[in-house]
Amino acid sequence: MNYQTFQPHPDLESFVKCYWTLEAPAQKDVQRQLIVPDGCIEIIFILGDDIKRYTSGDKFIIQPREMVLGQITEPFYIEPTGYVNSFAVRFYPYGIANFIPTPIKKLANKETPLELLFGKETSIQLGQKIIRATDTKKRVKIIENFFLDRLNDTATIDNIVKTTIDTIFSTRGSTSINTILRNDLSKRRQLERKFIRQIGISPKQLGKVIRLQTALKMLLNQKSETLTGIAYESEYYDQAHFIKDFKEFTGTTPKEFLEDDKMALSSLFYKEN
């Protein structure tokens, strides 16, 4: 698998974390790959063969060719049907709210075709431009022009939401929401409502996802020799708390995650980013 990331234009770096591409040849013995939550929302263009997303057991859907993958709060499996070639935009949690009118909570835990967000004609035109582009540099230019055209100069993120998100990321998800808001219950209720509307999940859920990502990167990069060490560095209460959260978001234990070939794609995505 060839996975690469690309940095956004300075005018978009407050909203877009990166662009990424994934390419892999068709294989006879295809393994399902586990996708785990990372706290981000993505626009994905499938340029190769179709991708299955399993809903339960052996039941699956075919993912839309141009889609937004909203906040996910539980792991799921995907499986390519042949040649893999994807181009995607990875937004910060609050980033995509600047470009679409749809409440972010309606995007959670599912794929939403772009035409439902931007209109059929606009989405077709954008998709065709991405498909016809001859390299990633040109695709990045196309999508950035699209975003810059849509970005309203007066658009701002609610300060209470953005400040909370910045704190969650800067503390790697280890700071409680009560601490961030200094135990102000009225602010917490307001924040919960705004988070669900603008981000799609609660601040507590986002904090758990970000902390798990910190621990997962340490695990994949072998920055600690023991699970206890990872739990301590990631500011979990103890190893049992870390394993509990790990299983909630990945469906497996840390040891099984490292040994299972089905986790290869998630390992690739989360090892360096």
Per-10-residue mean pLDDT, the chain, length 273: 94 91 93 91 98 94 97 93 97 85 87 95 97 97 93 56 78 76 67 79 85 86 79 86 89 86 79 62
**For residue 127, how far is the Cα from the chain centroid?**
21
Please give the pLDDT value at position 260: 82
Superfamily of domain 2-150: Jelly Rolls (2.60.120.10)
What is residue 44's DSSP assignment?
E
Please give the pLDDT value at position 154: 46
Please give the pLDDT value at position 273: 58
Please give the pLDDT value at position 233: 86
In the chain, what are the domain boundaries? Answer: 2-150
The CA-atom distances, in angstroms, between 200 and each of 8, 13, 62, 85, 196 are: 23, 21, 23, 28, 5
The counts of H helices and E strands in the chain are 11, 10
The pTM assigned to this predicted structure is: 0.78
